[in-house]
A = this chain, B = another copy of it.
């Protein structure tokens, strides 16, 4: 049985899909997961016995090459809705399940006009995508490797002649040369007392300076799968305060990583990291959650935050990425990607985690 048929089968099972019920999948990541289709426009209609992909003329050829499901062409939203109606008629469906977490109010209103009974599918597709199979894990591991290698390539050349953007450009180019399809997300290179304290800073033309902490958050994309890695470096000598903060984050991250295993509530991993910061009276400087799932989507279930209700399970691929940020002082973040397995969990990235002080150029 093909991967696609297997996954559609598992979805049908999860939903206990009966005759006269259709499922409309509108989230493109889910469409890709279920069919292999990678276009930027497509709806998937699943009934008890049929699977149909509706897309426009830019993608019909590609869809037929990438998938084994029926491909139907529709040029506009109106034509897509018409195809949905035709499918509901053919399958005598009286109930249409849809993705309320993704479908817009406008499209919902259009669907309401063609179906009497619309039921949200809930988080079933996100749940289905959680446990990575060996092929998915292999893609993620390649993505991890390309980011690790790119960082190792670029690291020795980082000095105060470079701007944040320069570092980003080299990292992304090197990931590609190693085999990545591209960056997994906008690479973050955040340096110095202000920028490094912004967790999602965009690389600027700021030139690196002696004494900077430099937060580099970089991932690669391989066959649609993401990786996610953060390391913090010092350029030359940085202050003792910053070095202390680095060690505190290092300790929080170590404990977080150790807490990841099947059966553990996701929020517990977050609590473990947060507790380390609390013991140093620094909890207010940890301004985000501890981690998230990674797969076809860079931020997906399970989320590792204080309000998470997820329980970690085998096959989950998650980040552990505590950090401390204070504008004027600087920021530190250390992040690994882990897979939950039968033995607990395994860290996928191999890049070292001790503070690396990059040599600054001697002043003449």
Residues of A at under 8 Å CB distance from B?
38-40, 56-62, 65, 75-76, 78, 98, 100-106, 108-109, 120, 165, 169, 172-173, 176-177, 181-182, 186, 197-202, 287-288, 307, 325, 327
Contacts and interface: CB of A to CB of B under 8 A. Distances in A.
A120 B100 contact: no
Given A56-B288, A58-B287, 14 more contacts: A39-B200, A57-B288, A58-B288, A60-B287, A61-B327, A62-B201, A76-B307, A78-B307, A100-B105, A102-B104, A104-B104, A105-B108, A172-B173, A181-B202
Contacts of A288: 56-58
A71 to B, nearest CB: 13
A199 B104 contact: no
Contacts of A101: 104-106
A120 to B, nearest CB: 7
Nearest to A98: B105
Contacts of A102: 104
B202 A38 contact: yes
Contacts of A40: 200
A198 B58 CA distance: 7
A105 B103 contact: yes
20 contacts: A38-B202, A58-B199, A58-B200, A58-B288, A59-B200, A60-B287, A61-B197, A61-B198, A61-B325, A61-B327, A62-B201, A100-B105, A100-B109, A102-B104, A103-B104, A103-B105, A104-B104, A104-B105, A105-B108, A169-B176
